[in-house]
Each structure stands twice: as structure tokens, then as C-alpha cells.
Structure 1
Amino acid sequence: MKHDKPKYKQIIDAAVEVIAENGYHSSQVSKIAKRAGVADGTIYLYFKNKEDILVSLFQEKMGQFIERIQNATTSRQTPSEKLFTLIEKHFEQLSEDYHLAVVTQLELRQSNKELRLKINSVLKKYLDVIDEIVEEGIREEVFRENINRKLVRQMIFGTIDEVVTNWVMKEQHYDINNQAKEVHALVVEGLLKR
């Protein structure tokens, strides 16, 4: 598997920095290679092209996101607590890596339809995690049953995503982690069974 090769992670990490600093369109593969400390040709042993680097980077980082959320949530937690963990970990992971935040919030929003579809298919795994938490809340009769699940998922992800985008646009002049509790309270308030 190409992901096990030591240079794969090196290239991914270099790509995050180069794309964050220069923008996706101005990030030549040669710039990424130079930052990773590898020959240009080496990149093509791992990736087909620049688009493949962007999608792989997202896949890799989204995989880490999901892993961190799954490691931090336990069966003992209520659905509401799990949702808080998801929000908290999302903010934490991006506040720890500003370059990654710039890439996920700005550079991944490409107008190229094919690229968007690939990114959406990666994102689906994350949305599935949100769905599972909401479903559990409904099963345990903590969350209302008569909710539009698709809309709920869009609202939860959309809210988290917009809060991070705003933080990136304001050049992280404040600690985004302080907003996790409030975002959670607002989201859960709309889900709770009365």
C-alpha cells in the first residue's frame, strides 16, 4: 500500500503547507517536491497529479479526524456528549494546524466539479459519523424522532464548518476551541425531545 511508504506522509505534509501558502492553483508539483525534500519524479510514484495530491491529503486528514473522534467517544457517552466530542475534536484538530485549516476551508472549495465529487465522497465517511450519533439519539429517545435527518446532518456539519471558515478568515485572532460548548448547545437544543 502506497500509504505505508515513508515519503507519502512527507509529501502530504509538504502539500498542506505549500497549498496553504500559495493557493491550490499556484502550487506546482515541483514546489511540493522541494518542500518535501524529494525529487519531482518521486511524487508521481505516489500520486497521479496535483489533484490527486489534494484529494489524498483530504482523505488522509479526514481519516485522522474520524479516528480521533472515534477514539474519544466511548459507549458510555450519551449521544449529546458524543456530538460535543465531535465538535471539540474538529475544532482542536484544525486549531492545531493552521495550514490544514486554510486548505480545508479555502483551497478544497474548488469550482472543478469532478474534484468536488471526489472530496464529497471522502466527506461522506465523516457525515456518516454524524448520522450515527443522531440515529443513536433518536433510538434512545433523547432526540426528536420527527426530524429531517439529512437536514440535521447538513446543519451540524455546516455550522461546524462555517465557524472554522470564519476563524480562518479572521486569521485565527481568537481561540476557536472556546466556541465548542456554544456550538454544541445551539445544535443540541434543536434536537432534544421535549
Structure 2
Amino acid sequence: MKKNKPKYKQIIDAAVEVIAENGYHSSQVSKIAKKAGVADGTIYLYFKNKEDILVSLFQDKMGQFIEKIEQETNARQTAEEKLLKLVETHFEQLSADHHLAIVTQLELRQSNKELRQKINEVLKRYLAVIDQIVEEGVEENLFRRNMDPRLVRQMIFGTLDETVTNWVMKEQRYNIFEQAEEVHTLLVHGLSEPSS
């Protein structure tokens, strides 16, 4: 498996940095190779082309990202606690790696349809975590029952995603993690049963 080869991680990490600093279209494979400290040809032992690097980068980094979110939310008891942990972990992980935040929020958006489909495949696992929390929230009477779960999932993911994108666009001048609690409150109150 190529992922276990020693230079794979080096190339992926270099690609995150190069793409964040130069933009995907201006990031030549030679720049990525130089940053990774490998010969240009070495890249092609691991990846077919630049697009393959971008897809692999996303699969690799988002795989770790989602795994952390699964672990953190599973360790919580109620849907409300799980949702807070999801928001916190999402913000925390992207604020810890500003290059990755630029790549996920800006560079991956400019990709072609085929690439977007591959990205959506990776995100399915994350969306499943959101679905699970929403389901539990309905069972616990935290969230109202008469909602379209797909719409709720889009709303939660879209809110987190847009909050991070805004932070990236503002050149990460503020601490996004400090917004986690407020975002959580807005989500919970937006989804809860109106009190009669």
C-alpha cells in the first residue's frame, strides 16, 4: 500500500503547504517535489498526476479528521454533547493547520466535477456522524421530529463549513474555536421543539 511508504506522507504534507501558498493551478508537481525534498520522478511512484495528489491529500487528511471526530463524539453521552464536540473538533482541527484549512475551504472548491465526486465520497463518513447525532437528538426529544434529516445534515455541515470558510477568507485573524459554543447554541435552538 503506497500510504505506508515513507515518502508518501512527506509528499502529502508538502502538497498541502504548496497548494495553500500558491493555489492549486499554480502548484507545479516540481514545486511539491522540492518542498518534500524528493526528485520530481519520485512523486510519480506514488501519484498519477497533480489531481491525484489533491484527491489523495483530501482522502488522507480528511480520513484522519473524520476519525478524530468519530472518536470525540463517541466518547460523549447525549446528542447535545456530541454536537458540541463535533463543532469544537471541526474548528479545532482546521485552526490547528491553517494550510489545510486554505486547501479544504478554497482550493478544493475550484475543482472539476469528477474530483468533487471523489471528495463527496470521503465526506459521506462525516455526514453519517451528523446523521447519527441528529437521530439521537430526535430520540432524546432534543430536536423536533418533523424535519427532513437530509436538510438538517446540510444545515449543520453547511454552517460549520461556511464559518470556517469565512475565517479563512478573513486570513484567520480571530480564534475560530471561540465561536464553537455560539454556533452549537444556534444549531441546537434552531432544531429544538418550540416550547408551547
Same fold judged by TM-score > 0.5?
yes
Would you say the 8 A contact 2:76–2:82 is kept in 1? no
- Tell me which amino acid in the other structure corresponds to 1:22: N
What 5-or-longer segments of structure 2 have no aligned partner? none
Paired residue for 1:145?
145
Paired residue for 1:13?
13
With over 3 angstroms needed to count, the CA separation of the structure-2 counterparts of 1:193 and 1:59, relative to structure 1, is same
Shift of 1:111: 4.3
Would you say the 8 A contact 1:62–1:126 is kept in 2? no
In structure 1, distance between residues paired with 2:65 and 2:50: 23
Shift of 1:116: 1.2
| Residues 31-75 of structure 1: CA deviation (Å, up to 9, x unaligned) | 101100111111111111111111111111111111111222245
With over 3 angstroms needed to count, the CA separation of the structure-2 counterparts of 1:122 and 1:76, relative to structure 1, is closer
Shift of 1:122: 1.2
- Tell me which amino acid in the other structure corresponds to 2:90: H
Could you state the TM-score of these two structures normalised by the residue count of structure 2? Answer: 0.95
In structure 2, distance between residues paired with 1:95 and 1:43: 28
Could you state the TM-score of these two structures normalised by the residue count of structure 1? Answer: 0.96
Q: Is 1:135 matched with 2:108?
A: no
Shift of 1:115: 1.1
Q: Is 1:164 matched with 2:135?
A: no
Paired residue secondary structure (1:73): helix
Paired residue for 1:188?
188
Q: Percent identity?
A: 76
Would you say the 8 A contact 2:91–2:177 is kept in 1? yes
Paired residue secondary structure (1:155): helix
In structure 2, distance between residues paired with 1:58 and 1:76: 27
Shift of 1:129: 1.0
| Residues 131-176 of structure 1: CA deviation (Å, up to 9, x unaligned) | 1111121233322111111111111010001111111111111100
Would you say the 8 A contact 1:19–1:107 is kept in 2? yes
| Residues 71-110 of structure 1: CA deviation (Å, up to 9, x unaligned) | 2224552111111111101100111111011000100002
In structure 1, distance between residues paired with 2:75 and 2:105: 31
With over 3 angstroms needed to count, the CA separation of the structure-2 counterparts of 1:76 and 1:35, relative to structure 1, is closer
Query: Which aligned runs of 4 or more in structure 1 are off by greater than 2 angstroms?
Result: 73-76, 139-142
RMSD: 1.2
Paired residue for 1:93?
93
- Tell me which amino acid in the other structure corresponds to 2:33: A
- Tell me which amino acid in the other structure corresponds to 1:82: K
Paired residue for 1:51?
51
| Residues 1-59 of structure 1: CA deviation (Å, up to 9, x unaligned) | 11111111111100000000000001011110110011111111111111111111111
Would you say the 8 A contact 1:105–1:165 is kept in 2? yes
What 5-or-longer segments of structure 1 have no aligned partner? none
Paired residue for 1:77?
77
